[in-house]
Amino acid sequence: MWIGITAVPDTKHVRPFSQTARNSFYEQDKRGAEYPVFPFDKKTWTQHVIDGAKIFVGECKLFWEETKEHFRNDPPIYHDGATENCLEKWRIGSDKINKEGFSDCNFFINDKGKGVFHGNIDITPPKDGNQRFAGYCGIKSVRKTKSFLRDDWYDWNPFTHLEMKVKGDGRNYMININMGMYFDVTWFDMYSYALHTRGGPYWQVVRIPFSKFFLTYKGRTQDKQDPMPRHRVNGIGITAAAVSGPFHLEIDYIGVYRDMTHTEETAYEMYTMPKEIVTA
């Protein structure tokens, strides 16, 4: 489960525009350029009313829970594997699902209430002339929202570490923390770091400082790094890739931890690139 408390937003971090070899200045959809824009204009006014009525009761219940949080002293629980709707808060993805390869995966809650992310990685690219590389699977939490589909964020400013209790298979995984930024040029910002697991029947507790996470944009590590804006966390994901074969990762919880002695903002050296140098 994830536990957090409210803190004052940190507005001192300003990051530059991310650059890749093929990115455009404008992004029309948060899912990427390969997805078409959702055709809102093709729906009639009556259809909008019908669609809104389907979610109205559920959103009212969520709004009531948000109201009660103001009168509670306990920190809110964001995700709990023991709840019935836990799986509804996660999405799976693979190159097979995206029609870019043959890797497959699944995510479920076992009889002990633990999350199990398992599947098979196949790095063989499809022979369609479009894909040169393949072999990835991942899970990702859904975008955090308030009632009536309002944007919301996890505020992790009071904390210094990401903590996970996992039981791995010896593979290396990638942890991706998604940012809920406003402008389209920042929609694909993620802070990533490796999760090293060991095989065997024993659980391991992993604590990774937020200062170790590095900024990526559409899978590319950025030359200009910046401390993670922890008050704008929108979700978290885990990716398995690159090495063919089966994988199995069991997750007890994902949480945050505060170490009063940890004062490092970022583990990476900052330097200014000359303006005449173009980086891809």
Q: Please give the angle made by the CA atoms of 7, 217 and 98, to the nearest 5 degrees.
A: 110
pLDDT of amino acid 75? 45
CB 119 within 8 A of CB 137: yes
On the question of pLDDT at 191 being above 90, the answer is: yes
Q: Of 2-6, 19-23, 55-59, where does the model show the most confidence?
A: 55-59
Contact 156, 208 (CB under 8 A): no
pLDDT digits (tens, 9 = 90+) for 241-265: 989 999 999 998 888 888 899 999 8
Contact, 241 vs 135, CB < 8 A?
yes
pLDDT averaged over every residue in the chain:
80
The CA distance from 231 to 82, in Å, is 26
User: What is the pLDDT at residue 117?
Assistant: 94
CA dihedral angle for residue 128, residue 129, residue 132, residue 134, rounded to 10 degrees: -10
- The answer on pLDDT for 193 being more than 60 is yes
Give the pLDDT confidence score for residue 34 in this predicted structure: 59
Is the predicted pLDDT of residue 40 greater than 70, yes or no? Answer: no
Order of all β-strands in the sheet with 161-167: 104-109, 115-121, 245-257, 161-167, 204-209
Q: What percent of the chain has pLDDT over 70?
A: 76
Binning the chain into helix, strand and coil, the percentages to the nearest 5 are: 15, 30, 55
